[in-house]
Structure 1
Amino acid sequence: MTLWLAIPLILLLLVLLMFLLVLASSIHFHFRACRKGKDDRIEFDIKAVFGLVKFHYEVPILVFENLERGIKVHIEQSGIAPVKRDSDEEAQVDKEAVTDWLKNVRIALKATKGLNKWFRDTLSHIEISTFDWSTDFSLGDAAATATAAGALWGMKWTMIGFVSQRVRLLKAPRMFVAPVFRDEFSFATEAVCKGKLSAGYALYSGLLLLRRASKIEGGLGRWKKLLSRERA
């Protein structure tokens, strides 16, 4: 009889230990965006539970068609959770897509009490370990290129100041602007960002979001409809 009681207790302790290990882990992310000439590439990786859960998103094709149709995006994604899954799809970022996105944001704001504060608090717990951004360009005119280089430096550091007030920068960002003095237009840029968020705080943040949504009449129902629309 004692053995039959001990086995469930041991299993319960193992499950509890695994749960605590998951909470003690971190969600790591790696974002990379680059453009060289006409070639664009955006990559986004997420690793969690000590690397057992992995997701990879890649946008190798960005085609601006026209003002009406917007940007055509080809997305490649793969994941291990813990079974590998691969899928490719295309999306159209046009006026209608932006309008739908803004509509969803308004729905989320109305469905959640203090969503802005929740979002700022969550961002404040993100730790950025790497933030590199380099840009090489030429406007085809030496004077214009030099002037634009100064303006670009100012824009980058203004952006860094904005970001540093909202997330934790563990290291000083590395910004590079290299004007290329040639008689033709050229542009190349690469941005790399690596960071992490505690899995325990991510769970707490999710529960806090549910609690805030429950304080609004019909808030949980609105979120359910919103998520079902995103999956459709």
Structure 2
Amino acid sequence: MTLWLGIPLGLLVVAMILLLSSSIDFRIRCYKHDKNDLLELDVKTLFGLIKLHYELPRLVFKGLEQGVIGKFKETGTATTGVDTVKEEHFDKERVEHWRKNIQLAVRSTRGLKKWFKETVSHVKISKLDWSTDFSLGDAADTAIASGAAWGLKWSIVGFISQRVKLKHNPRVFVKPVFQDEPSFSMELVCEGKMSVSYTLYALLRLLLRVLRVSGGIGKWRKLLKRMRREPHGQSLE
């Protein structure tokens, strides 16, 4: 009896050690060349046993009222096994829903902003490449804009480096293209990870912060119900 009890307990201990020693790895790629767009997010954990792939192959701006429309694709071992393709609408109503949800989350959690900053500071970025080629159609304007683009990029990179851990120096490029016609191309690749053990610890701290607010659990339930009721993309399957 002791042997039959010890085997599953030993396997459970080994599984917990493997779980806590693994990490959540992610890769973000954003690409744009004239009218061609692509936004990809890959997430994997448990040494690659669980994988998720999100893809937004194209964004179309439909005006101030309709906002931006894009086709959203989800695949991976953590899904139901069937590729999900949806048409997503990002308009003023969607943004307003997000704003209200964030406000409710802040009211429902003690020190949510502080918790978020501390959690993000444990993200380790191993790769950050950002290149931009563009032309404004005029050589002088393109040269001036390239200088402004350099300054803007390094300001953004500096902002990010203050909040996450950069394991390697980011590679940032701005290439002015001197031609008569306007053009724009950009590619951003970001790779990083966060340990599963700290992720679980951060979730536990988040729960404790919610419990410190009167009615915090009830407010979070309300928030999750509201998020489920909000309009989402229409499935194209």
With structure 2 as the length reference, what TM-score do the two structures score? 0.94
Letter in 2 for 1:192: V
Q: In the comparison of the two structures, how many residue pairs are matched?
A: 229
Q: Which residue of 2 aligns with 1:57?
A: 54
Q: Secondary structure at the match of 1:172?
A: coil
The alignment partner of 2:83 has SS state of strand
Task: Give the structure with the larger strand fraction.
Answer: 1
Instruction: Report the Cα offset of residue 13 of structure 1.
Output: 1.7
Whichever residue aligns with residue 203 of structure 1, its letter is L
- Residue 66 of structure 1 aligns to a residue in which SS? coil
Equivalent residue runs for 1:145-224 within 5 Å: 145-224=142-221
2:129 to 132, 139, 142: 132
Cα distance in 2 for residues equivalent to 1:218 and 1:71: 36
CA distance in 2, matches of 1:162, 1:129: 17
Gaps of 5+ in 2: 230-237
Residue in 2 that maps onto 1:109: 106
Show structure 1 runs of 4+ deviating over 4 A: none
Identify which of 11, 14, 19 aligns with 1:17: 14
Q: Does the 8 Å CA contact 1:134/1:190 hold for their aligned counterparts?
A: yes
Q: State the 1:165 CA deviation.
A: 0.4
1:222, CA displacement in angstroms? 1.4
Helix, strand or coil at the partner of 1:15? helix
1:45 to 27, 37, 42: 42
Q: Partner of 1:80: helix, strand, or coil?
A: coil
Query: Identity of aligned pairs, percent?
Result: 49
* Structure 1: gaps spanning 5 or more residues: none
Residue 187 of structure 1 aligns to which amino acid in structure 2? F
Change in CA separation of 1:198 and 1:86 when aligned onto 2, cut-off 3 Å: same
Q: Is 1:58–1:76's contact at 8 Å kept on the other side of the alignment? A: yes
The Cα of 1:82 is off from its aligned counterpart by 7.8
